[in-house]
Chain A
Amino acid sequence: MMMKDKAYWILAAVLLMLGGGLLVFSPAGKPDELPPEELFRAMHDSSRFLHTDEVTRRIIEEDPSLLLIDVRNSESFRSFSLPGAVNIPVTDLLLPEWEDYLRAPGMEKVLYSNDDIMAGQAWILCTRVGITDLYIMRGGLNLWADHILVPEAPPETASMELTDRYRFRLGARLYFTGGTGAEVSVMQAEPIPVVRREKKTTIQGGC
């Protein structure tokens, strides 16, 4: 009888030790945190980056599922920000008051900063704490300005796609700089690609 009791005590002690060990060695993370392996996998998925043109198009189309998050400081945000953006400085990302924005269901949250280094770091942190549908605007505002505010004209040999993209950027530039003649100008340019398409077909037939 005594032997049996002793065995139970040893068993209980070992179980307690194991339990204690679990507590001590358990990951520091919270339950909804993404495990490191999954965070690593997510970091290597290039679809987390959105192109500046894509973001611009969605801003112009007033895409209701787009939520722009400016992670720069409030001073920079006040000076200039993309239309509709919410300012969550990187220092405030973990504050509970921003949870509703960062975890808004059905919204695609797009982080941006001046470049995309800070937005990229913010992305890693937010993804780790379990925020989903999170993207980064590749190149940040610097690249956005390169593309939209001072777009470079494509070379004369450029493909149709590049020319279209350039025209889109010029139209977008008018949208963002507040030019009221934006629509008129874009429409003026409109018939040109149509003519071009016709020409191409004719020549192809000839060959």
Chain B
Amino acid sequence: MKNTAKIILTLLFVFIVLVFLFSGRNQLRYTLSAEEVLLEIIKEDYDMSPREANEISVNKEKTTVFIDLRDPVLYDNGHLDQAVNIPSGKLLDRHFMKMLRNFHDEGLTMVLYGQDHREAVGPFLFLRQTGFNRLKILTGGYDYFQRVAASGNGVEELPERVSEEPRYDFAALIEEIGGAPGQVQQAIAQPVIPVRREKTTTIQGGC
């Protein structure tokens, strides 16, 4: 009787230890503190240019894997060679998480890309703080990669919304507009009239 109790107790502990160990392994947790995440944001050294990506792709380098974060439909329509499709909304699916962990364990650099640049920024920062440290973002996303490839990997102007550069001198622009009130008033009166005319014509056509 005493022995049976002992065995049950031992098995119980072994079970608890095993559950603890396995749940710890699969549980998603932050591996960077908030302060470290902030440093990651400031560092801004995670971009990979389309040309660099193309070289890796052509040389079939085994140290890098491209992660296509777009919808499977878009992925099927065209993607980087050797890219794996992990839609950004499904990153946490068990299957995809396992895939990402495998890439990580194999020491591969994961290059994330979406249709445009910004699509990869969120997933990057999320993965970065949950245990993945060899991550890059393909500058400009798939659209820009295509454009650079179409130009024979030449120099292409960066698309909008890749960086935080202001596109205007806001203060000067405001001063410019504010300094010419007459023009502004004109602008207000102008657009309304042609729109009105057009609408009338369309309705008449319909009747």
Interface residues of A (CB under 8 A from B): 7, 11, 14, 18, 21, 25, 27-30, 33, 35-37, 39-40, 43-44, 72, 76, 79-80, 90-91, 93-94, 113-118, 120-122, 124-125, 128-129, 139-142, 145-146, 149-150, 153-154, 156-158, 160, 163, 166-167, 170-171, 173-174, 176-181, 185-186, 188-189, 192, 195-196, 199-200, 203, 206-207
Contacts and interface: CB of A to CB of B under 8 A. Distances in A.
A120 B195 contact: no
A185 B188 contact: yes
**What is the interface of chain B mostly: helix, strand, loop, or mixed?**
helix
B165 interface: yes
A173 B184 contact: yes
Nearest to B16: A18
Interface stretch (B99-107, B121-129, B148-156): B121-129
Contact of B42 (A91, A142, A171, A199): A91
B33 interface: yes
A204 to B, nearest CB: 8
Interface of B: 6, 9, 13, 16-17, 20, 24, 28-35, 37-38, 41-42, 88-89, 91-92, 117-118, 121-122, 125-126, 129-130, 160-161, 163-168, 170-171, 173-174, 177-178, 181, 184-185, 187-200, 202-204, 206-207
Nearest to B200: A199
B198 A90 contact: no
Contact of B170 (A79, A139, A180, A196): A79
Nearest to A142: B167
Contacts of B190: 153
A163 B126 contact: no
B171 A36 contact: no
A176 B37 CA distance: 35
